[in-house]
Chains A and B, each alone.
Chain A
Amino acid sequence: MRSESGVEKAPAGLVVAVGAVLLFLHAPFAVIVLYAMTTEDASFRFPPPGLTLDWFRVAWNRPDVWQALGLSLQVAAVATAAALVLGTLAALAVHGSRFFGREAVSLLLVLPIALPGIVTGIALRSALSLLGLPFSFWTIVVGHATFCVVVVYNNVLARLRRTPASLVEASMDLGASPFVTFRRVVLPALATALVAGGMLAFALSFDEIIVTTFTAGQQETLPIWIFNQLTRPRQRPVTNVVALFVIAATALPILLAHLLTREKGGGKT
């Protein structure tokens, strides 16, 4: 049953099933593009009565959209910056030596992403209430940074593991102190991993809704704005336009990060 290339041909039934699943995964995107352009504004009527690009202009002119977008961008920027610094420090420390409690540190770093978002959210919320701290921009940032750290940490650690140890030794052998070695040899080796980790962290933060709901008080990030819009029958296509934008804003950075950290020879992420 082998074809010429040496790979077997799949049974027809399997190919059909695969096609169906792929269709299931991707068809909904077509739907949202369609609904961003429908002329019907209060319901989700199909087929749409007409198509228009007007809603893009309407969305552009909505102040609440801009406000939510601005907040999301600021939060993502600060959270990413914090995650880059903390994640790199943690990865350097864990990679460098076999110290007591190393496993525990790895577990602790992974926990925010491994536990359901709701746990992180309510945990932070209850800590805030115990400490009597009011909700603010900074509470949102703290929440986001907590799970963004591990994303940077993973990327940097993976890259450190792929970098031959002899490079650091060679640098020190030639007279560079550990700090100079870090600056001249380690950092360049980490460069693309840092960019990738940063972009992943940015996308995660931009898209995040569960933890944010608990730490945001009255403020609306873009995802919260979308969520609130879902139950309001007013200018629905605007929500869809914004949704399209969010897809691009999250998928593109992650795609770039994926391409940056791909091993030569087409390994898997």
Chain B
Amino acid sequence: MAAERPAVSLQDVHRHFGDVRAVDGVTLQIRDGEFFALLGPSGSGKTTCLRLIAGFDRPTAGRVELFGAPADHLPPYERDVNTVFQDYALFPHLTVGENVAYGLTVRSVPRAERERRVAEALELVRLPGVGARKPAQLSGGQRQRVALARALVVRPRVLLLDEPLGALDLKLRQQMQTELKAIQERLGITFVHVTHDQEEALAMSNRLAVLNQGRVEQIGTPAEVYESPATAFVANFVGVSNLVQGPLAEALAGSPAAFTVRPEKISLLEAGAAAPAGCCTVDGRIQDVVYLGPHTRYVVEVAGGAPFTVLEQNRERTSGDVQAARGRPVRLAWPRDANRPVGGAS
């Protein structure tokens, strides 16, 4: 298979701060042109990895390569990589136009071309005409777009985004997710997106890496990571999962090896109802009901194991029906092939 040079390659990279191992042996390849997400909780090392790629930090051990060439010794201003910072980092003393033009100004690009490219970049992020204003006069969402424009105007080969949507409210965030994805597809450059929001990572990325305590737990496409979590951590961090182990696992699957089942794969049947062929079934009692609008989350007590979380769409039910379900005995049923074995148990 023709090995194309990966845009970014981290090879057994470590970054230690005294006793703290922020990055503890991370190896991953990011392909040219893909939208790659680094997903993990706080302290997982994802931002540190980003900083190592950008050049703000040097690894304690291991290699960082950009397009096949070692990059460890290169300072940030010599790497073909640009960053959109979490706090946007817009220069307060410059106008929006001057901010966006900064990378070009520093490279002594002539004025006419500079102005043209700045206008182009602002169009790309759908903020035409704000060039004369100061960053303080813009809203959070607008500032975020300016930061994006500023990073893109110099045409980097890799764009790094450090939790760029964290400060935005839900609607705006979802809108920006779509826009970012569209921009990336249009420009075709590599995006590396750091986030703790697993929904965001699943929605936007071509591939993602799940990080935990400085180590990679799994790398794969969103579908792979969600449907075949490699470890218990991934199973519980990316979405919610029910962990079945011990005697209950033995009873349901014939072996005590632990496995996970996603809540939306489980159906709630009447107590004692017959389940379709090829299903596991468990009897229990509804302990708690949370009405979420489009769906409802049930917590069901079962004998011999931890309570199950079940997620059902409220297709025919109303909130009244749903609340009345509390305390009712039920039977849980799900297809056997929805069981996913767990690699290192937590």
* A–B contact via C-beta, under 8 angstroms: yes
Q: By the criterion CB–CB under 8 Å, are A170 and B106 in contact? A: no
Q: Given A171-B102, A189-B93, is A177 in contact with B87 using a C-beta cutoff of 8 Å?
A: no
Which A residues between 178 and 192 are near B, CB-CB below 8 angstroms? 180, 184-185, 188-189, 191
Q: By the criterion CB–CB under 8 Å, are A173 and B106 in contact? A: no
- Which residues does chain B contribute within 8 Å of A170, judged by CB atoms? 83, 85, 89-91
Q: By the criterion CB–CB under 8 Å, are B85 and A174 in contact? A: no
Does A6 make an interface contact (CB < 8 A)?
no
Q: 1/0 contact trace for A142-186 toward B, CB 8 Å?
A: 000000000000000000000010110111111111001000110
Determine the main DSSP class of B at the interface with A. loop
- Which residues does chain B contribute within 8 Å of A174, judged by CB atoms? 77, 82, 102-103, 106, 150-151, 154
Q: 1/0 contact trace for B65-87 toward A, CB 8 Å?
A: 00000000001110001110111
Q: Within the assembled complex, what's the spacing in Å between the Cα atoms of A184 and B81?
A: 21
Q: By the criterion CB–CB under 8 Å, are B85 and A180 in contact? A: no
Does B291 make an interface contact (CB < 8 A)?
no
Q: By the criterion CB–CB under 8 Å, are B107 and A173 in contact? A: no
Q: Within the assembled complex, what's the spacing in Å between the Cα atoms of A85 and B292?
A: 62
Chain B: number of interface residues, binned into ranges: 20 to 34
Q: Within the assembled complex, what's the spacing in Å between the Cα atoms of A175 and B82?
A: 9
Chain A: number of interface residues, binned into ranges: 10 to 19
- Which residues does chain A contribute within 8 Å of B92, judged by CB atoms? 189
- Which residues does chain A contribute within 8 Å of B89, judged by CB atoms? 164, 166-167, 169-170
- Which residues does chain A contribute within 8 Å of B90, judged by CB atoms? 170
Q: By the criterion CB–CB under 8 Å, are A177 and B93 in contact? A: no
- Which residues does chain B contribute within 8 Å of A169, judged by CB atoms? 54, 56, 76, 83, 85, 89
Q: Within the assembled complex, what's the spacing in Å between the Cα atoms of A173 and B156?
A: 11
- Which residues does chain B contribute within 8 Å of A184, judged by CB atoms? 102, 106
Q: Within the assembled complex, what's the spacing in Å between the Cα atoms of A74 and B152?
A: 51
Q: By the criterion CB–CB under 8 Å, are A166 and B93 in contact? A: no
Q: Kindly report which residue of chain A lies nearest to residue B54, judged by CB atoms.
A: A173
Q: By the criterion CB–CB under 8 Å, are A177 and B77 in contact? A: yes
Q: Kindly report which residue of chain A lies nearest to residue B147, judged by CB atoms.
A: A170
A99 to chain B, nearest CB (A): 16
Q: 1/0 contact trace for B89-115 toward A, CB 8 Å?
A: 111110000000011001100000000
Q: By the criterion CB–CB under 8 Å, are B83 and A173 in contact? A: yes
Given A167-B91, A170-B83, A170-B90: 5 more A-B contacts, CB < 8 Å: A173-B56, A173-B83, A174-B150, A174-B151, A188-B93
